[in-house]
């Protein structure tokens, strides 16, 4: 409950043996304390099917060891989270199953997954696991990276804007988070040459000479400024700026991520004039962004 007696959903963090998950728990603890929400740390023990019943002499002993290790992971993450955000309420949950299914069953304000930046193999595993979580849970999912900094960081939160309903929800969520963290917000829209001409890549070179690109830039910037201004009424105190450029959304947002605290996108977007499908953009950012990535359904 918060000060007004309303039930506050928890900030949920997936915990494993990695340093990344514990670091994510510390960031999430700071955020949870700021919004007066409990922090729920979740460790999932996979059921026996993941290794095959004939693979081990004593599968039951293995599962017991996995649960014991899981409780140790939770205890260590809880201690570090409490140290990072004294006073935050921490709950520890150990469950059997798969991470996406377990997290989907927990109503949450935000799901946080931690990952270290290591190598391409890690990125491949991260993508498949995280995408399953995003597809299962209804709440926003934040994939935390060590470059994301702390809750007091003054780097901006960048949000991709394309006019779709999911993009608008991502903007609203990012605006709320920017207000909570005291961070500036950048609304970014990227528009491509093929989208402007409507003729496909084969005709781009011919059609480009017939387009008034100064007019296009002016109109795109005006659309973006008008669109985000109409959605910022809830938190007018948040410092808001915009970026409008001719580029692919994935390339543009990835470039901005190098100086961002968080990059937020809808899980999918319009895929038309105002930006490419954010399904591919969100997956690209999961693999290549230098900041934390927030995906909003």
pLDDT score, position 273: 34
Going by pLDDT thresholds of 50, 70 and 90, the confidence category of residue 196 is: very low
pLDDT score, position 126: 52
Each residue's pLDDT tens digit, 222-247: 999 999 999 999 999 999 999 999 99
Q: What is the DSSP string of 28-80?
A: HHHHHHHTT--EEEEEEEPPGGGT-TTS-S-HHHHHHHHHHHHHHHHHHHHHH
Strand 292-296 and strand 262-266: the pairing is parallel
Per the model's pLDDT, the better-predicted residue between 45 and 1 turns out to be 45
Mean pLDDT of 30-41: 98
pLDDT score, position 115: 80
Residue 278 has pLDDT above 50, yes or no: no
Going by pLDDT thresholds of 50, 70 and 90, the confidence category of residue 127 is: low
Residue 149 has pLDDT above 70, yes or no: no
Residue 152 has pLDDT above 80, yes or no: no
Q: Determine contact, residues 188/158, Cβ cutoff 8 Å.
A: yes
Full set of structural domains in the chain with CATH: 8-146 (3.40.50.620), 155-296 (3.40.50.12370)
Rounded percentage of the chain residues whose pLDDT exceeds 90 = 63
Query: Which of 26-40, 95-109, 134-148, 268-282 shows the lowest per-residue confidence on average (mean pLDDT)?
Result: 268-282
Mean pLDDT of 111-134: 66
Q: How far is Cα 164 from Cα 169, in angstroms, rounded to an integer? A: 9
pTM for the whole thing? 0.86
Mean pLDDT of 96-123: 81
Query: Which of 32-41, 61-70, 117-126, 263-272 shows the lowest per-residue confidence on average (mean pLDDT)?
Result: 117-126
pLDDT score, position 277: 37
Residue 122 has pLDDT above 70, yes or no: no
Going by pLDDT thresholds of 50, 70 and 90, the confidence category of residue 59 is: low
Mean pLDDT taken over the chain = 84
pLDDT score, position 187: 98
Closest listed residue to residue 116, CA positions, set 31, 10, 17: 17
pLDDT score, position 53: 56
Q: How far is Cα 219 from Cα 146, in angstroms, rounded to an integer? A: 38
Q: How far is Cα 165 from Cα 249, in angstroms, rounded to an integer? A: 17
Mean pLDDT of 177-194: 91
Strands (E), 37-191: 39-45, 90-96, 110-114, 141-144, 157-160, 185-191
């Amino acid at each position: 409950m918060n000060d007004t007696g309303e039930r506050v959903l928890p900030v949920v963090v997936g915990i494993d043996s990695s340093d990344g998950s514990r670091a994510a728990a510390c960031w999430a603890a700071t955020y949870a304390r700021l919004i007066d929400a409990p922090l729920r740390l979740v460790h999932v023990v996979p059921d026996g099917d993941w290794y095959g019943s004939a693979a081990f002499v004593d599968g039951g002993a293995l599962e017991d060891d996995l649960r014991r290790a899981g409780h140790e992971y939770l205890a260590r993450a809880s201690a570090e989270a409490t140290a990072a955000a004294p006073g935050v309420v921490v709950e520890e949950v150990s469950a059997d199953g798969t991470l996406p299914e377990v997290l989907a069953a927990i109503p949450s304000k935000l799901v946080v997954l931690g990952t270290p930046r290591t190598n391409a193999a890690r990125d491949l595993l991260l993508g498949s696991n995280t995408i399953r979580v995003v597809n299962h849970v209804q709440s926003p999912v934040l994939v935390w990276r060590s470059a994301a900094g702390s809750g007091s960081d003054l780097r901006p939160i960048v949000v991709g804007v394309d006019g779709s309903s999911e993009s608008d929800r991502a903007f609203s969520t990012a605006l709320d988070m920017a207000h909570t963290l005291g961070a500036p917000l950048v609304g970014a829209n990227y528009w491509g040459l093929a989208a402007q001409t409507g003729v496909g890549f084969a005709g781009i070179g011919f059609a480009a000479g017939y387009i008034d690109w100064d007019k296009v830039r002016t109109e795109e910037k005006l659309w973006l400024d008008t669109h985000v201004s109409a959605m910022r009424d809830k938190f007018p105190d948040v410092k808001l700026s915009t970026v409008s450029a001719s580029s692919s959304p994935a390339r543009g947002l990835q470039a901005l991520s190098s100086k961002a605290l968080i990059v937020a996108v809808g899980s999918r977007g319009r895929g038309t004039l105002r930006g490419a499908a954010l399904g591919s953009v969100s997956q690209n950012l999961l693999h290549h962004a230098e900041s934390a990535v927030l995906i909003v359904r």
